Structure 1
């Protein structure tokens, strides 16, 4: 009899319990921490008054993206295609490519959906999500007793 060491399978929902954002694409993947083909890298940063999301999508242009918010879901879809054709007397050469991806994030209830902005520059799609006033951390104030 031979004993084999096996790797314990990670359960994605355990790590999501403590996170305000839930990436539904990652939630249903077998390997939660591994980057899947066609799924761009994503960074999320929280400050006192807003969230910042950066999504790496080089090679696309602004017109290739469609970003929507449905209920509490931020949906990001990108599609692009290129086509190149060369004709000569003896031959015709035609090349084409098609790239696409979809990402979906469940937004925290603390996000003001009407204040979400997006910019695309140098291959990075950047989102700024303002927090509701009640969710913002307020400065610590000491009250003097008189």
Structure 2
């Protein structure tokens, strides 16, 4: 990290040709160059909503924390036991006042997919958005319990 102490600048006559080179190297290490990949992965995951998945006797529950969205922003699709949840939202803000103009854009999106078991009722899946949380209920199909049966050999 950069130190809070002020560096004394030397006069041009006292500087040698390596002084700028070494100060640039110092600055590179001060800016946490080696931690950059970690910071970039955090930024990439910042837009990925947290998910909770639970199971009861009758259904699977998927909850995604996505505050600030509207019901119409979500797109939920099922394709071959894969549920895909995506969202895109674009906001524009424009303000004109006497001495200034302000215009801001905000775009956010995400996409998450989860593999579902084969024993579900795909036609009965329900989704609800409430207080910043998207709730998806995936009912289980009733599994038929086969009774014991004796097969005679002819």
TM-score of the superposition, structure 1-length normalised? 0.66
Distance 2:99 2:118 in 1: 63
* 2:83 is aligned with 1:74: yes
Q: CA deviation at 1:91?
A: 2.5
Determine which structure has the larger strand proportion and give its number. Answer: 1
Q: Does the 8 A contact of 1:74 with 1:107 survive in 2? A: yes
Matched, 1:85 2:94: yes
Structure 2 unaligned blocks of 5 or more: 1-41, 146-154
CA distance in structure 2 between the aligned counterparts of 1:91 and 1:98, rounded to whole angstroms? 24
Which residue does 1:38 correspond to in 2? Answer: 47
Instruction: In structure 1, list runs of 5 or more residues that go unmatched.
Output: 1-33, 137-146
Q: Please tell me the root mean square deviation across aligned C-alpha atoms, in Å.
A: 2.0
Q: How many residues align?
A: 103
Cα offsets for 1:2-49 (capped at 9, x unmatched): xxxxxxxxxxxxxxxxxxxxxxxxxxxxxxxx9922111111111111
The structure showing larger relative contact order (alpha-carbon pairs under 8 Å, at least 6 residues apart) is 1
2-structure distance, mates of 1:37, 1:85: 26
TM-score (norm: length of structure 2): 0.62
